[in-house]
Structure 1
Amino acid sequence: MSENVGSGTGSSLPSIPRPTPAISRRKNATENRSDIGWKHGIDVQGNGKKVKCNYCSKTINGGIYRFKHHLVGTKEDSEPCASVPEEVKAVMLKVCVEDKEASLKKRRFGDDEDYPEQTKNEKDNSQQKGKDIRNFVTKEKGAQVQSTINQIMKKDLKKQCDQQCAIFFYTSTIPFNVTKNSEFLKFCEMVGRYRIGYKPPSYHELRETQLKKATTNVDEMLTEFKAEWKRTDTSDISKITDKVVKMLEDAEEFVDEENVVQIVTDNDVNYKAAGEKMMKTRKNLYWTPCATHCIDLILENFKKKLKVHETTMKKGRKIITFIYSRSMLISMLRNFTKGKDLVRPGATRFATAYLTLTCLHDNKGPLMTMFTSDDWKTTKVASTPEGIRVQNIALDSRLWKNIVICLKTTAPLITVLRS
């Protein structure tokens, strides 16, 4: 016999209570802003996806979760805030740790009520994992920092990256001071932002596409200066004596004749004639030839008119060109010379040539040792006709005697030029 349920007559249906509409438990939902992070940011679009920071005014994509990491400074998919107060940062730090622990526990084990049979070991492992998660944020100053697995892995990867970078420099014969170039540091930072999968530009792109872009950018940067260059340009002025005089007179008028005591030009015939002409009409003005240019012309005459100088320079240049066109030989050379180079720049072109002879003379012993060593003999270039010729030149005693003759002749001039 059936039994009636609820009030009413026997044919009435039983009254069933309607379920209460579920309340969203997501504290980050659009209609629910109970997350403490919203006290420090503004919802830009109204959907919780973009949050504008109250302290640095930056807009963070990815919702309130990334915004809290922005305040803490964990660098987890967000740029750290540079203006957040320390007390706010400390609160956000605690919130982020708690969120991370709760998320891990729910993902790995579920709620304790749903899994009453969870063993003590599992609970201990969960708690230990939660402790490890705490280390993903930056500790306060003075506190001891415990390395996480991620940090240890990054430390090993850092060593590998450093080694590969060094090998790249060594095998490409790139000067070490490139690491001080701010553009190189920017490049490394941008590769880090790109993360895994970055491929450098190809040989063609470097020579064509990227080079054209860089040239265009430089031209745009120089636009404001080109007008001034055009105004003061003298390259289209004829260098005959009268034109040179007119150019010097205009310069003198610009700075006022009373402020001009001396005019210094190079030793070109027309400049010399123009300087002497101006001295005749101006008693307080003196024209002087450029001393550096004079010495450079003397060194040039030595090279062109003295056979021993010309021959010695050709042979020295042949040795240097042969070595510096091969990265393997450069490394070998620095091994024997203890890091010294064979090229030394000077104030002028011909001064550089004689300073290079000085470097060869200073490294005579290491060079001769290198060309007679087993390291040299095992290289591929040692058996080539060019390699044999360079070796014979370097081991020829007459070359070193001639270098001494050249240096004795020019040493006083080089000393004056470099003083």
Structure 2
Amino acid sequence: MSSSASKKQSRKNAPGARLDPGWDHGIEIDSNKKQFQCKYCGITRAGGVYRLKHHLACTHTNVEPCPSVPEDVRTQMFDLLSASSEESRKKKQRVSTMYDLKEEEGEVKQQAKKCSMDNFVVRKSGGLNVRQTTINEKWKKQDRDEVCQIMARWFYTSAVPFNAVNSPLFPLMIRKLGEYGKGFKPPSYHEMRVTFLKKERKRTMNNFLVNSPAGTVFLSSVDTTDISKTAQKLFELLDGIVEKIGEDNVVQVITDNASNYKAAGKILMEKRKRLFWTPCAAHCIDLMLEDF
């Protein structure tokens, strides 16, 4: 076997390889088609070990989450994906930095031909060229700091958890923004609440409804403007959703702690003996803090 063929086979994610930690929790069905089977829920999907790790980490990225994955395994896979995403980001940053340095070196050489400023830009120390920080580099760092500060301020003022930056979707969002370039118009309140929520619901349902395992989470967006104040109407709405999904597939219904929702929840439990209605803990805490 040639050395190149040996290196190809020894790669961590090469077909047939078992070096990636994700393979400890899945079975490779077809290496050519990159099909795997989850050891916990038994589903078979294509996409290789990368998609298997997203399945186990429950990230909802191009594959449904595993309903039976142990918590320690889910955390391990999430950390692996986050580390991989961060490593990829740093690699791209290094490549971008090298490209910027080459451009700046070219600008320095052009400037050196026009004026005798070589000693200011490059000096020799012990036989080695020591390159001073250019004004462009300082400006670029200042620009990045300004962007990061605005992002951090949005996190602080919107009460977004800091660990949101560890989500694999966070660097993906930043990359997509960068690829779009200047002039990007952010989504409006209506688009986030209606337009893109409907699209995400459709995508999620398409991923989950095909051979969906037990424990699947369903997203549903319903306009309750005309019925949210009436307990009976709310009960009919919730009861209809349970009927649509199937009573055997519903264990718990969670709403806020308003009196109309409490009444609707009690009526629902009287009819559906196998499910439980639970008030939202965050809403209960919010009400207590308002009383304080």
Relative contact order, CA 8 A, sep 6+: which one is greater? 2
TM-score by length of 1: 0.29
TM-score by length of 2: 0.39
